[in-house]
Amino acid sequence: MQVLKGKAVADQIYTTLEVESATVHDLLRRPPCLAVLLVGDDPASASYVASKQRACERLGIDHRDYHLPADTTEAALLARIEALNTDDQVDGILVQLPLPEQINEETIIGAIKAAKDVDGFHPYNVGSLLIGMPTFVSCTPLGILAMLDYYEIATSGKHVVIIGRSNIVGKPLAALLMQKGRDATVTVAHSRTNDLASLTRSADILIVAIGRAGFVTADMVGEGAIVIDVGINRVADASTKRGYRIVGDVAYEEVAPKCKAITPVPGGVGVMTIAMLMHNTIASAKRTDN
């Protein structure tokens, strides 16, 4: 059984991105620039935003951070986005999700200029991906592909089962894997799927992005499967300093012995998401339509 660690993959990507960031800096006579908008005080979101800032600093990417109060109106957030859309010093705009309930997520995502949508959530970018002309692609799916490539895991002709149909992971990942060149046969399962365990047992590659701690148990995994765990769940743990620990969507201890390869949590897919966000930000800075 092979443990597919994310750090080695991310380190390799960061090495390439350091050079690219410096090249773009020379070309533009300014660093690439990412605007990050956080509304409210969700602790997990705040911690993701802090990691994004650290990654920018590692690569010499400028970051503009907007921490708005939890009662920010949709109109106020839209006005902020519009100002960033038209600011030619800003290459990428990211609005951390989830948003407070008074703000409609679709409205906000649709308001971000597609050419600055480094999250790849805008309908234009999602549609482009679906027809095989990807522009900005959602970062976690991109990170998963980068891991498969690094560990030389071929997907051609393989049955890939994805558990979870989110716009951020499940749907874009399915679109990427079914594309020519990746050539996987993809099944997207979700909370309403009948007899989930017999479906997931038939997977050559099982990718789990459902957001439930320990959801996938040993009986759901075939011998010799490759398991990619996208879950990042906080579970209470009084023995830790923070009072919680991070676990994946897969019950790792019981599932790992059955696998040919598996990603750990933490230490697996997690670090890849931000690496690919940096990739998208530098790619955006290289574009001339901003």
Minimum CB distance to ligand GUN, residue 139 (Å) = 5
Residues with Cβ within 8 Å of residue 3, at least 6 apart in sequence: 256, 261, 262, 263, 264
Instruction: Compute the least distance from the CB of residue 165 to ligand GUN, in Å.
Output: 15
Active site residue 96: yes
Please report how close the Cβ of residue 119 comes to ligand GUN at its closest, in angstroms: 5
96 or 135: whose CB is closer to ligand GUN? 96
User: Which positions lie near ligand GUN, rule CB under 6 A?
Assistant: 94-97, 119, 139, 168, 273
* Catalytic residue (one of 62, 91, 117, 119): 119
Q: Which residues touch 249 (CB under 8 Å, ≥6 apart)?
A: 163, 208, 209, 210, 211, 212, 213, 214, 215, 216, 229, 230, 231, 233, 265
Q: DSSP of 58-106, one letter per residue? A: HHT-EEEEEEE-TT--HHHHHHHHHHHHT-TT--EEEE-SSPPTTS-HH
Measured from the CB of residue 36, what is the shortest distance to ligand GUN in angstroms? Answer: 8
Q: Which two tokens stand for residue 224?
A: 């010799």
Asked if the bond preceding 98 is cis, omega within 30° of 0, the reply is yes
Known active-site residue 179: no
Contact 68, 37 (CB under 8 A): yes
| Active-site residue, from 96, 171, 229, 249 | 96
**Closest residue to ligand GUN: CB criterion:** 97
Q: Quick one: 53 exposed, middle or buried, by C-beta within 10 A (0-12, 13-18, 19+)?
A: middle
52, 116, 229, 249: which one is catalytic? 52
Closest CB to ligand GUN among residues 95, 186: 95
Cβ nearer to ligand GUN, comparing 200 with 263: 263
Identify which of residues 49 and 184 has a Cβ nearer to ligand GUN in the complex: 49
- The least CB distance from residue 72 to ligand GUN, in Å, is 16
CA angle at 97 for the pair 131 and 209, rounded to the nearest 5°? 60
Q: Which is nearer to ligand GUN, 175 or 225 (CB)?
A: 175
Catalytic residues: 52, 96, 119
